Amino acid sequence: MHNSDPGPFGALRDLRVIELGQLLAGPFCGQLMADHGAEVIKVEQPGTGDPMRQWGQKPGMWWPVVARNKKSVTLDLRQAEGQAMLREMVAQTDFLLENFRPGTMERWGLDYETLKAINPRLIMIRVSGFGQTGPYAKRAGYGSIGEAMGGLRNLAGHPDRPPSRIGISIGDSLAASFACMGALMALYHRERTGEGQMVDSALYEAVLAMMESTVPEFTVAGFVRQRTGSVLPGVAPSNAYPVKDGEILIGANQDTVFRRLAQAMERPELADDPRYATHSARGERQEELDELISAWTQSFDADTLLTLMETHGVPAGKIFKAPDMLKDPHYQARQAVRQVAHPEFENLWMQNVAPRLSATPGEIAWPGPALGAHNADIYGRLLGKSAKDLDRLEKAGII
């Protein structure tokens, strides 16, 4: 495990982020920036820290990922001296990232107008359930609520069952990803003008942004999209099909690709059959076509069928779980998952940095740090605090 910077790396090197808040919606944005070399200083409550430190199948399993490459300091922002120390740090930073309920920063005297007066170049990244304005702004908002109100939950699952959770905290991650994108847009604006600004990323709006044509489908055609399980109605064949050792996803809905699938099935006549020859015809007979393909695929094992699909240029893939990822040769060749040294977990693997930049690649320099591990470094280097100062602050409960 690295205990200090490995040296500058990544496209965001020399940029500093102060990360406030906790759980996932804000911290995942910080993770993305830290992965590409930004100095991300995570500010946590003394004694407790981010609840993510305890999350995971084994307590603490999530923390090494979401806090990787970050530096941890403790600071009580509910106390006036803690707020004053943060304002001193803001004078020397590029980004301030927070995901508290709107109104919290204002109550602490850490609102954007106050901080902008200290540092006009500051970019303040704010992630919340419903945004910083509007009648719902001060409501508590978790990712699940954003997924529901953004329209995603209504489309997740099967039509004869209640809406389903996707399986990951996608609402939080989307809001964080849009926050990161907004921050980099604001950075480009600052390069041209010298001015910082505020980035307002709302959970429900991040989900809404991914909802394709669902809104105009209603306003123009009066159609409200509903849950359809594993298929997209009218797009066929595109589904999970049974094989001897599981299921394989095959996407052959384009005319030319369906013709190649028919050849692989040794049924080339299917591509000229009026029932299946066009996109719309296949869509009308989606269930019938899926049954026909399933009857063929179930005589293969997964690897044999995948090889056949590759030979004929038909998109196909296994439905991976973590064990599949670790042993897959493509994952291995690109190091899509990699092992990371950790003082507690001996066999810690995690997803690698994305996206990949050719000239300024990011890296995983160290996993999530211990609570307050960088107090001496950050407060000494940025605020000029001595060991005696730090001892006083700790005894006072400020850090």
The CATH number of the domain holding residue 317 is 3.30.1540.10
Using alpha carbons only, give the angle 42, 344, 176 rounded to the nearest 5 degrees.
35
247 pLDDT above the threshold of 50: yes
First to last CA, the chain: 24
Q: Does residue 199 sit in helix, strand or coil?
A: strand
Helix (H) or strand (E) holding 198: strand 198-202
Q: Do 314 and 188 share a domain, yes or no? A: no
Q: Do 20 and 152 share a domain, yes or no? A: yes
Helices 375-383 and 387-395 sit at what angle, rounded to 10 degrees? 120
Q: Does residue 202 sit in helix, strand or coil?
A: strand
Q: Do 242 and 290 share a domain, yes or no? A: yes
204 pLDDT above the threshold of 90: yes
> Of 323, 351, 378, which residue is a domain's last?
323
Residue 49 lies inside a defined structural domain of this protein? yes
Residue 110 lies inside a defined structural domain of this protein? yes
Beta bridge partners of 139: none
Phi, psi torsion values for 206, nearest 5 degrees: -65, -40
Q: Which letter, b or e, does each residue of 18-51 get, where b requires 16 or more Cβ atoms within 10 Å of its Cβ?
A: bbbbbbbbbbbbbbbbbbbbbbbbbbbbbeebbe
What is the per-residue pLDDT for 315?
97
Question: Residue 360 — very low, low, confident or very high, per pLDDT cuts 50/70/90?
Answer: very high
Q: Do 252 and 282 share a domain, yes or no? A: yes
Q: Which of 19, 177, 12, 179 has the alpha carbon at shortest distance from 97?
A: 19
Pairing of strands 70-74, 95-98: unpaired
What is the per-residue pLDDT for 59?
86
One of 35, 50, 76, 172 is an active-site residue; which one?
172
Q: Do 99 and 165 share a domain, yes or no? A: yes
Q: Do 141 and 247 share a domain, yes or no? A: no
131 pLDDT above the threshold of 50: yes
Q: Can you read off the two tokens belonging to residue 58?
A: 């084994």
142 pLDDT above the threshold of 90: no
The answer for residues whose C-beta is within 8 angstroms of residue 362's C-beta and 6 or more apart is 9, 10, 11, 35, 36, 37, 353
Total domains in the chain come to 2
Q: What is the CATH number of the domain that holds 375?
A: 3.40.50.10540
- Enclosing domain of residue 306: 238-323
What is the per-residue pLDDT for 57?
83
Q: Which letter, b or e, does each residue of 291-307 get, where b requires 16 or more Cβ atoms within 10 Å of its Cβ?
A: eebbeebeebebeebbe
Q: Does residue 240 sit in helix, strand or coil?
A: strand
pTM of the model: 0.91
Question: Residue 2 — very low, low, confident or very high, per pLDDT cuts 50/70/90?
Answer: very low
Q: Do 61 and 99 share a domain, yes or no? A: yes
Residue 97 lies inside a defined structural domain of this protein? yes
Output the average pLDDT for the chain. Answer: 94
| Whether residue 237 has a cis bond before it, omega within 30° of 0 | yes
Q: Do 128 and 268 share a domain, yes or no? A: no
Q: Do 107 and 150 share a domain, yes or no? A: yes
Q: Which letter, b or e, does each residue of 86-110 get, where b requires 16 or more Cβ atoms within 10 Å of its Cβ?
A: bbebbeebbbbbbbbebebbeebeb
Q: Do 143 and 75 share a domain, yes or no? A: yes
Residue 229 lies inside a defined structural domain of this protein? no
Q: Do 21 and 101 share a domain, yes or no? A: yes
140 pLDDT above the threshold of 90: no
Q: Do 202 and 348 share a domain, yes or no? A: yes
User: Mean pLDDT throughout 169-181?
Assistant: 96
Residue 58 lies inside a defined structural domain of this protein? yes
What is the per-residue pLDDT for 334?
96
Dihedral of the alpha carbons of 131, 133, 137, 141, in degrees to the nearest 10: 0
What is the per-residue pLDDT for 108?
96
Whether residue 172 lies in the annotated active site: yes
Residue 221 lies inside a defined structural domain of this protein? no
As a whole-number percent, the residues of the chain with pLDDT over 70 amount to 98
What is the per-residue pLDDT for 143?
87
Give the start-end residues of each E strand in 203-243: 238-243
Residue 184 lies inside a defined structural domain of this protein? yes
Residue 111 lies inside a defined structural domain of this protein? yes
